[in-house]
Structures are given as C-alpha cells and as structure tokens.
Structure 1
Amino acid sequence: MSAPQKQTLSFVALISLVVGSMIGSGIFALPAAFARTTGGVGAMIAWLIAGTGMLMLALVFQNLSMRRPDLDSGIYAYAKAGFGDYAGFVSAAGYWIGCCLADVACLVLIKATIGQFVPAFGDGTTALAILSASLLLWGVHFLILRGIREAAAINTIATIAKLVPIATFLFVAAVGMKRDVFAANLWGGEPASLSSVAGQVRATMLVTVFVFVGIEGASVYSRYARRREDVGLATVLGFLGVLCLLVMVTMFSYGVLLRPELAALATPSMAGVMEAVVGPWGKVFVSIGLLISVLGNYLSWSLLAAEVLHSAARDNTMPSVLARENARGVPAAALWLTNGLIQLFLLVTWFAEYAFILALKMTSAMTLVPYLLVAAYGFKLAWRGEAYTPEEESRRRSALVFGAIATLYAASMLVFGGTKYLLLSALLYAPGTILFVISRREQRHASVFRRGEAVLFAILALAAVVALFSLATGRLVI
C-alpha cells in the first residue's frame, strides 16, 4: 500500500471551514426562532452577549494556536494538555457527538424543506425522509473517503454558493422593512422593562450558541494548514463575518412581519419573510439556497467529526483502530463510526416530537463543554505565564481577560440551557466513556481513571441514571 498523500489547506480553505461550519441550518431558522422568545431589544442584547463571548473564544483559539503550535488538533488537544486524559476524552467525545447531532439537524432540515413541496417528506422525520436522509448520509461518506482536500474544495464552493441567497435576502429584507412594524417589535409585545427583556434574552441564548458552533473549524484542522499562522486569523475573520450576517438576518426580519407572524412561520422561516416581501418565488428561492447551504454545512460537520475522533485516537485517548487512515490520508475508521452514530440518531428522530429543535439544542449543549475546557485552558496558560516571555506581559494580561470572559460565557450558557439538556448530554457522555476504557486497556494502564477523573465520571454516570429514570417516567421528554 502506498503512503498516505500529504494534503494541505490554504488560508481561504481554512476560512471556508469556519464559515461553512457556522452558516448552515441555523441562520435560515433565525427569524422564527428569535421571534418565539424575544423582540428587537432582547435580540440585540442576546447578540451582544453571544457575540462578545464567542469573540473572546475566537481570540482564545487564535492565541492558543500561536502559543501551543505543537497541539495540532485544536479543541481536543487543548483540553487534554490543560486538564488531563479524561478531560481530553470528554472534550473529544462531546465535540464529536455534537458534530453528529449537527449533521442530524442538517438532514432533518433538508427533508423538512423538501416537505414544503413534497408532502411525503413531512417535517423531515417521516419514513421516506429518514430513508432518503440515510442515502445522502452514506453518499457523502464515500465522497469524503476520496480525500480531505477534495471534500474541503467542495466545501469552499458550497460556502460561496450559500452566501448568494443570504445576501439576496438581506437586500430584499432591508428594502422591505417598515418602521412601524420594527418599532412594534422592539419590546416583543410586552411592557418595556428590564425584567421582561432579561427573560426573553435567557430563552434565546441556546439558539445563539448553535449558530456559532463551528467557530473552531480551522483549529480542528490545523494539522492540514499550509501555514500555521493562518489558523488563528481564519478563525477570527470567519467569526466576525458570520456574526454580521446573523445580526442582520435577525434584525431586518423584525421590520417585515410582526412578532406573532414571525413566530408562526414554518421552517425555514427566512423563506416566509422573503415571501412576505416579494411573493411566492421568494420562498422557493430561499428554500433552494437553504438546500445548498445545509448540504455544505453537513459536509463541514462530517469532516470535523471524523477528524476530532481520529486525532484523539492518534493521541491514545480513543481506541487505536480509530487512528487508521486510508491510502488518501482520510481517517476512514473514524468516519465509519461517525456515520454509524449519525444513522442511529436519524432513527431516533422518528420518536422525537420536535426533532430539529432537539438536535439543535443538543448540539449546543454537547459542544459547550469542549468550549468551556478550551477557554479554561487559555485562562490557565495565561495565569501561569506558560509560553510567554517576560517581554510579553501585556499580551499575557490580554489573554487572561479573553480566557476569563470566554470561560464565564461557556459556563453561563450551560446553565441557561437548562437541566433537560445537561441530563441528556450525560446520557451520551457516560456510555461513551467505554471508548476511553478501551483505550486505557490497550495501553495497559493500571487504572482507568485518576482520582479526580473518577469523581467526574461518577457525576456523569449519576446524571445519566437520573436521565434514564426521567425518560422512563415521562418527566423528561425528547
């Protein structure tokens, strides 16, 4: 067998991985998702909080890419370097499962969009929808097996293509905005008070996390970067560009339809806003744009999911079989396990009442833990002054602030998400630890966990038992 081909990614390809991962199903659902919980003022506050928190996280990623260039698998490697083997595993497993759930959200939304024109696809969870989604799943699987560079090139093309309908929507919505409608939506139809806005903002925050997931795309793929210094810059630039789009889509929509009308729009709600301004063709146009966007987003998540699993296996935190690559340098074993899990989640959507919303919020909950560990490591590195020279004191202080704010933000989002999603996350983390146990046995370690790690696993296991009991008794509903 020939040696795996060395493949590299350009600066543009790295930015495309960030933008392509972040812009997907979420942005097309924003008008209704925000209108169900908040008005214009609450939306701006939510974006201000989320934008600040995620910008700090982007700056942490940028700083760590420069301070620890030896860690070439980003979100997983930072957690392990900062807090040990099991924390590294939790980060890798959480991010991997989150990517799989994001792919499920993409597949459900694709079929739900088609369902607006072909009733047999329904809300994306009918038998025909799940069957066709499964065919798409394995079709993309074999595409990625052909090579990372080829898949990344397709992702770059899809990223450019998806920006066209979004830009068109922003132009149309801006022209169609009505001052009286926007003014009526400012306070969400409730009395103008800080208490009412605070409740609206809290209910919106988990949605903002979902649309930002993917910010770490360049960092996860840093081992393929043509120039290491491109990784951090691609992360920050990609984030800032996407943030501008998200804010404009949300706020322009408040000027087109009243909040109750926005909240009642079917997914993708951006299509409904477009239809309200230009007529039925706008719905078709946005729906086509959504399909292009979400297909590209799906490809990005497939790439990221397999890569983080493969990287963890290379670093002896996942079973060694997952480190295997094919002749084209693709992490084939990790890709098979990834798509197997996505297929399982797809089957579960048959039983979920609101499959898309469940996948969306579970993606946020699963990826927040890895984000929290990365932010905490950035803070820890700056606090101890590791990788900083005495002449870089000002940079160390800046990194300390970035890490502190990003850590506080990620922890707060976990709390705001609610008990339901924490329990469901534990239900995935606890059994997933079997992979960690297999890895430790392969390396012939005397014990699987260190003392602190055993406590963490015990907490996860207890939460998983509570989740199972709650599901069985009907207290927890998916």
Structure 2
Amino acid sequence: MADTTAQTAQKVTLATLTAMVVGSMVGAGVFSLPQRFGSETGVAGALVAWAVAGSGMLMLAFVFQSLALRRPDLDAGVYAYAKAGFGEYLGFFSAFGYWASACVGNVTYWVLIMSTVGAIAPALGDGDTVLAIVLSSVGLWTFYLLIRRGVQEATAINRIVTVAKVIPIIVFVILAIFYLDPQVFADNWRGGGDLGSLYDQVTGTMLATVFVFLGVEGASVYSRHARRREDVGRATLLGFAMVLSIFASVTIVSYGILPNEELAELRQPSMAGVLEAAVGQWGEVFVSVGLIISVLGAYLAWTLMAAEVLFVAAADRDMPRFLGRKTGADVPGPALLLTTVLVQVMLVVTAFSENAFNFALNLTSALTLIPFLLAAGYAAKLALGRDGERSGGPAREIVVALLATLYTAFLLYAAGPKYLLVSFIVYAPATVLFVMARREQGRRPFGPGELLILAVSIAGAVVGVVALSLGWISL
C-alpha cells in the first residue's frame, strides 16, 4: 500500500528504531513508579507484578515481532493487525483508540513537567493550574512546529534524547543501591498499611505497568520507514529488554530508601523524592532535570507515532481522506495537527480532574488495552491458521499468541469498570470519522455486524456519562 514516496523514505536504521521503542517507553511513567507502587504494594507484590507484567508484555513483544515478519504488507502495526483480523470497524476503533491513548499519554508528560517545576514555582501546582496549562500549550505547539520540519530530523533528535535521558535513571539506580537500607527494605517486604491481599496488590499495579510499557509496539507503528523489515522485530525485543530492566530496578531499589507509607505520599515525580531522601536536595534537582529531558523525548516519539497511525488509517480509507495528506518532508500534516489539537483539549480537561496525572495515566492505559487485545487476538488467529488462505504457525507461535491474548484480557479485567466506561465515552463519538470515510467511498455506513459493535459502544458511552453525572465514577 506504500507509495513511491513512502518507499524512498524507508531509511530508518535498527538503532533508530530501537531508540524509538526505548524513547517511547522511557518517559513520564518511570519517574512515577516509586509512588505508584508504594501506594499499592510492598516488595513482594512488586516482584510478582513485574514478573507478570514483564512476561505478559514479552509475549506482546514476540507477537509484534512475529506479525512484522508474517505480515510485512501491513504498516502501522496495532491498527493494521486489528483490521486484518476482525474487520474494518474494529480496525477503525483500534486506530482511533491507539491514537487517542497516545494523545492522552502526551498530556501526562506536560502535567509532570509542570508538577516538577511546581516544586519551586507554586503557581504551577501539580501541573493542572491555569498557568501550567498555558505554559504546556506553548510547549506542545512548539513541538508541532518542530515535527512539521521533517520526520527524519525529529527521529534523529529522539535518538540523541533517548541516550541523554537513560543516563540519569541509571545513576539513580546505582545511588539508590549504594544508599539502600536493608532494614527499611525488609520492613517493606509485605507493604505497609492496609494494602489488601497479594492478589489485590498486584492487580492494583497493572494499569501503571501498562502505561510504562506503552511504546513496546513503537517500531511496528513506524514500520513503513524501516530500512529492513526484520529490524522491526529486533528493535522491539531489544528495546523491551532494556526498558524492563530499568523499570524493575527503579521500583525495587526505592523500597530500600523510604518506608512504604512515605513512598505512597511522595509528590510526583516520586523518583526525585526518593533520591532526595538518599543524597539530599541535589538528588531531587538531578532527577528533575533528567525527567524534563526524558519527557520531552517521549513526547516527540509519541506524537510521531500518533500522527502515523491516523495517516496510515486514512491511506487505507478507514479515516477521512484529509488525514492522509503529507507535506513535502514526508510529515502527515493534518494528522499531526489533529493530534496536537486533542492533546490541547485533554490538557484543559485535566483542570477538572481530582488528580490530573493519575487520571491521564490510567485513561491512557485503558484506551490502549482494546487495540492490544485485538492485535494479540489476530496473532492467535494467524498462528492457528484461521486467517483465510494463510497457514498456521509452529506450536511456540500459538502459545505466545494465546498467552498475549490472555494477558491483555486480564488487564481489561484489572482496569475495572471506571476507565472502561470513560474509554467508551471517547470511542463512541469517534464513529463520526468512520461514517465520513464510508460516505467518501459511496458505501453504506455500517454492515449488520458493525451495527452490533456500534450499539455496544453507544450503550457503554451512555452508561459512562450517566455514571459520571450521578457521581458513581469521577475523573
């Protein structure tokens, strides 16, 4: 489906693709891990949670590697796999949901930057004051102008930023190990306060682990620019292995610095509070600078991927035609603009939430789960030989695909009804874009099966709106 221009633009190397994966995952999430885990579980629960999350996400990484090789004709991975496996309407939902999750995730970056600076500038609060939103808006439109200059220039910047932001995190882990108090670590083994059973503790961390692992599919989403197709799978696995070791290390060493109750009460970015407790105020400053570099790099990577998904969906005629236009620098201009506009809208919404950062983080994770589930489900369908004329895969491929599907289904269960209902509120109105695309092609808006999916999404959105209005759930 790629045109001549897209083919000549396939110049991205394995190193750059790996940097896209690492750059996408190492963002705001890693700096929030000590508080997020400290408020949900102790050392034992954290170890189990990372084992579960690491194993599940590894299965997803293998799924994206396998799909990149078995279906090299499909670009923008998550969206394209859902469409190939389950039809145009669910493919559209996957594209829109993935795009919306990227936009909401980008909001967490600006909130966390402003919250970080808010430690010395109280007018910025926790990143959700009027001044914070205004400054964040200036930043996001500055990035819009930067990315419009060209995709290759933006990815080169991301590779440099990825290296720069990993170094402070590694230094944090080394210092935390040096200052680790064995007694504090031992006291935190089961967690403090009333954290519930081990199962409750582990499920309580699931949305946080989903958020920090978002981006494992980054190389797949950006596949149309790859120099060699096999580099997509290699970059996915390399990036995943690097990031898992970083995330687990940051979480576990923090339990040796502060008691569980104090970890749970830390201001975000909580990694700064942990290092300050270990080495003094310069530790907080050090982590804060690293956070700003990290978050800006992640914002760049996620904005690129979000625009790419809309562009490819439009090229496949599953989004309105205007989203499939590119500039001379191979940048999907209208898709990039719409991405920036949604981030701007969600920035304003954070002013009405109880906890802007946690709300945006959890909603991002929930929006991504359906696209991930559909991609894993397609991999299972492909491996079992139930994809039309295509033959099945080896036993290993079948097991991996089924485990990835079960894991993402479990995540939907662990997310609970609140964020699923809010997700429906986001998903249902998006159908307008699907109808626009169908009408441009002179086709009926919906087939019989698609009408059923539409009814479910509208019903979920109605329940979500009622639940919000009656106070059953809150932002």
For Structure 1 versus Structure 2, the TM-score category normalised by the shorter chain is over 0.9
Instruction: Tell me which amino acid in the other structure corresponds to 2:262.
Output: E
For 1:166 and 1:130, the matched residues in 2 are separated by: 27
Structure 1 equivalent of residue 131 of structure 2: 128
> For the Cα contact (< 8 Å) 1:7–1:148, is it kept in 2?
no
The one of 436, 439, 456 aligned to 1:438: 436
Residues in 2 aligned to 1:458 and 1:385: alpha-carbon distance in whole angstroms: 27
- List per-residue Cα deviations over 1:44-103 (Å, max 9, x = no partner): 111111111100000000000000001122111111011100011010000000000010
Cross-structure match for 1:402: 400
Aligned CA distance change for structure 1 residues 111 and 398 (closer, same or farther; 3 Å) = same
| Structure 1 residue 466: Cα displacement | 1.0
Structure 2 residue aligned with 1:147 = 150
The residue number in structure 1 matching 2:169 is 166
Summarize the Cα distance change of 1:389–1:456 in structure 2 as closer, same or farther, 3 Å threshold. Answer: closer
Residue pairs, 1:69-218, within 5 angstroms: 69-189=72-192, 196-218=197-219
Unaligned runs of 5+ in 1: none
Q: Conserved in 1, the CA contact under 8 Å of 2:193 and 2:261?
A: no
2:471 to 453, 459, 474: 474
Aligned partners of 1:250, 1:407: CA distance in 2, in Å?
26
CA distance in 1, matches of 2:185, 2:389: 49
CA 1:266–1:439: 2 relative to 1, 3 Å: same
Deviation at 1:387, TM superposition (A): 9.9
Judge conservation of contact 2:421–2:461 (CA < 8 Å) in 1. yes
3-12 vs 105-114, which deviates more? 3-12
CA distance in 2, matches of 1:7, 1:223: 6
**In 2: Cα distance, 1:452 partner to 1:385 partner:** 19
- Equivalent positions of 1:227-306 (< 5 A) are 227-306=228-307
> Separation in 2 of the partners of 1:456 and 1:191?
41
Matches within 5 A, 1:47-58: 47-58=50-61
CA 1:191–1:96 in structure 2 vs 1: closer, same or farther (change >3 Å)?
closer
1:435-467 CA distance string (max 9 Å, x none): 00100111111x222222211111110110111
How many residue pairs end up in the alignment?
Answer: 471
**Distance in 1 between the 2:328 and 2:69 partners?**
31
Instruction: State the distance in 2 between where 1:87 and 1:8 align.
Output: 31
Moved more, 71-80 or 378-387: 378-387
Q: Does the alignment pair 1:459 with 2:449?
A: no
| Distance in 2 (alpha carbons) for counterparts of 1:439 and 1:214 | 28
Cα distance in 2 for partners of 1:191, 1:432 equals 41
Q: Give CA-to-partner distance per residue, 1:371-395, whole Å, 9 cap, x none.
A: 00000000000101769998xx8x5
Equivalent-residue separation in structure 1 for 2:209 and 2:403 (angstroms): 17
Paired residue secondary structure (1:474): coil
Deviates more, 1:4-13 or 1:322-331: 4-13
State the alpha-carbon separation in 1 of the partners of residues 179 and 296 from structure 2: 29
**Alpha-carbon distance, 1:349 to partner:** 1.0
- C-alpha distance in 1 between matches for 2:355 and 2:150: 35
Kept in 1, the 8 Å contact 2:58–2:240? The answer is yes
Structure 1 position 133, deviation (Å): 0.4
Q: Distance in 2 between matches of 1:73 and 1:189?
A: 44
Q: Report the equivalent of 2:345.
A: 344
Paired with 1:339 and 1:43, the residues of 2 have a C-alpha distance of 35
Find the aligned partners of 1:351 and 1:338 in 2 and give their Cα distance: 21
Residue 261 of structure 1 deviates from its aligned partner by 1.1
Name stretches of at least 5 consecutive residues in structure 2 with no aligned partner.
Answer: none
| C-alpha contact (below 8 Å) 2:382/2:390 kept by paired residues | no
Secondary structure of the corresponding residue to residue 454 of structure 2:
helix
Asked if residue 20 in structure 1 is aligned to residue 23 in structure 2, the reply is: yes
Deviation at 1:6, TM superposition (A): 2.6
Asked if structure 2 preserves the Cα contact closer than 8 Å seen for 1:385 and 1:396, the reply is: no
Post-superposition CA distance 1:235-259 (Å, at most 9, x none)? 0110111001011000000111110
SS in 2 for 1:128: helix
Residue 381 (str. 1) matches residue 379 (str. 2): no
Tell whether the 8 Å contact from 2:98 to 2:368 is kept in structure 1 after alignment.
yes
Kindly provide the amino acid, as one letter, of the partner of residue 477 in structure 1. Answer: S
C-alpha distance in 2, partners of 1:320/1:414? 32
Task: Tell me how far 1:191 sits from its aligned partner.
Answer: 9.5
Could you tell me how far apart the structure 2 residues matched to 1:385 and 1:470 are?
A: 39
AA partner of residue 275 (structure 1): E
3-state SS, counterpart of residue 349 of structure 1: helix
1:166, 1:191 → 2: CA distance? 30
**For residues 397 and 275 of structure 1, do their structure 2 counterparts lie closer, same or farther at Cα, with a shift above 3 Å needed?**
same
The 3 A distance-change label for structure 1 pair 388 and 235 is: farther
Alpha-carbon contact 1:177-1:255 (below 8 Å) kept: yes
CA 1:190/1:348 → structure 2, altered by over 3 Å: closer, same or farther? Answer: closer
Which letter does structure 1 place at the counterpart of 2:360?
Answer: A
Whole-angstrom CA distance in 1 between matches of 2:147 and 2:353: 29
Q: Distance in 1 between matches of 2:366 and 2:333?
A: 27
Counterpart CA distance in 2 for 1:387 and 1:147 is: 39
Deviation at 1:189, TM superposition (A): 3.0
- Higher mean alpha-carbon deviation, 378-387 vs 414-423, is at 378-387
User: Contact 1:22 / 1:212 at 8 angstroms: preserved in 2?
Assistant: yes
CA distance in 2, matches of 1:329, 1:450: 34
Letter in 2 for 1:379: A
Are residues 1:317 and 2:318 paired? Answer: yes
Give the TM-score, by structure 2 length.
Answer: 0.97
Amino acid corresponding to residue 463 of structure 2 in structure 1: V
Identity of aligned residues (%): 52
Residues 145/104 of structure 1: CA separation in 2 closer, same or farther (3 Å cut):
same
What is the TM-score normalised by the length of structure 1?
Answer: 0.96
- d(CA) in 1 for partners of 2:283 and 2:193? 31
1:68, 1:387 within 8 Å by CA — same for their partners in 2? no
TM-superposed CA distance for 1:276, in Å, is 1.0
Equivalent runs, 1:355-366 vs 2, <5 Å: 355-366=356-367
